[in-house]
């Protein structure tokens, strides 16, 4: 009989052996929980396309964040939903705005929690684009940079621990770093959405924050999904301008990019497991087409295996419970 010298199945035979030799492990420390914050009290509005996620008033946000923190999730990212919008998103630099007030409340209630603010304008502009728009309908890049500087200073004054620019505006990291340093916030890190693609997987998020463009789309500033080299150029620019953490968004369709960032740059790599990725698993699980928890964990482990040190995910609390 033929003698097999190598039998890889030996190390897969029992759960104990599989646990012993597992190469990649998930931890609650890996996760950042996104939150959608609104004005009011006792507000907990379900988001139809994101089962289990809500628009939360600040009092409800604190309750939810305390639960997340108790599960070992030490970081959150905030997306604000204002009461009013205008053409430039001026509410973003209102020192009494929704993100600013939410940040102060979280830092008062859970001082050890890492509070990150998403830095963009799409939720705050009446046209739904990520900055100032010209009369011809184009994004005015450099005018937007000036407003980004005002936004991050207001957020830093409110006490955010980290800022996360997400608009794919040319020069955004450099402009933000300069503004923070000039105002004395030299220790405030920048988590850059360095490779953010124009993706079909953002639909549920746009429902959550009412940020769909009123005309056109964002393909003129977000990356073409077909372009790998262009994405790497974008990341290189953000690294050069002072990004402390570099991120790929979405995660699952771009695992190759996550791996390439990990191999190329000696910086922490984040990945955003976006709303559409979450919604697909939830929808299929509700229909009994797959095991929701198993699919959740498999998708998250694939993101980490690809090279992500940090995962922004709506599954954060659910995954933390599953792996505890």
CA dihedral of 124, 68, 110, 172, whole degrees rounded to 10: -40
Instruction: Quote the CA–CA distance of 59 and 309 in Å, as a whole number.
Output: 31
Give strand pairing partners of 139.
133
Give strand pairing partners of 310.
270
> In Å, what is the CA distance from 56 to each residue of 93, 94, 110, 251?
21, 20, 17, 25
**Would strands 54-57 and 75-80 be described as parallel, antiparallel, or unpaired?**
unpaired
Contact indicator for 19, 8 with CB cutoff of 8 Å? no
Contact indicator for 139, 133 with CB cutoff of 8 Å? yes
Give strand pairing partners of 76.
33, 115
Give the ranges where 23-165 is alpha helix by DSSP (H): 58-70, 98-109, 141-158
Active site residues per annotation:
196, 249
């Amino acid at each position: 009989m033929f003698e097999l010298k190598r039998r890889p199945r030996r190390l897969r035979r029992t759960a104990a052996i599989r646990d012993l030799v597992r190469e990649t492990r998930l931890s609650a420390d890996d996760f950042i929980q996104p939150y959608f914050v609104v004005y009011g009290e006792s507000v907990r509005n379900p988001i139809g396309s994101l089962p289990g996620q809500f628009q939360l008033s600040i009092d409800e946000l604190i309750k939810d964040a305390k639960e997340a923190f108790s599960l070992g999730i030490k970081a959150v990212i905030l997306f604000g939903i204002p009461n009013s919008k205008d053409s430039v998103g001026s509410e973003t630099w209102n020192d009494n705005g929704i993100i600013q007030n939410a940040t102060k409340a979280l830092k008062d209630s859970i001082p050890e929690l890492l509070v990150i603010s998403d830095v963009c304008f799409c939720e705050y502009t009446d046209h739904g684009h990520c900055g100032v728009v010209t009369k011809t309908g184009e994004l005015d890049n450099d005018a937007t940079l000036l407003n980004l500087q005002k936004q991050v200073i207001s957020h830093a004054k409110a006490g955010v621990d980290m800022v996360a620019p997400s608009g794919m505006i040319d020069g955004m990291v450099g402009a933000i770093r300069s503004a923070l340093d000039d105002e004395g916030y030299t220790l405030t890190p920048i988590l850059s959405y360095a490779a953010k693609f124009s993706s079909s997987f953002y639909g549920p998020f746009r429902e959550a924050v009412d940020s769909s463009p009123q005309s056109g789309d964002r393909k003129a500033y977000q990356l073409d999904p077909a372009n790998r080299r262009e994405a790497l150029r974008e990341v290189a620019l953000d690294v050069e301008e002072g990004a402390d953490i570099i991120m790929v968004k979405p995660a699952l369709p771009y695992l190759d990019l996550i791996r390439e960032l990990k191999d190329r740059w000696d910086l922490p790599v984040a990945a955003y497991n976006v709303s559409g990725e979450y919604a697909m698993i939830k929808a299929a699980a509700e229909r009994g087409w797959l095991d929701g928890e198993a699919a959740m964990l498999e998708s998250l482990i694939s993101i980490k295996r690809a090279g992500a040190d940090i995962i922004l995910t709506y599954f954060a609390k659910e995954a933390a419970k599953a792996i505890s």
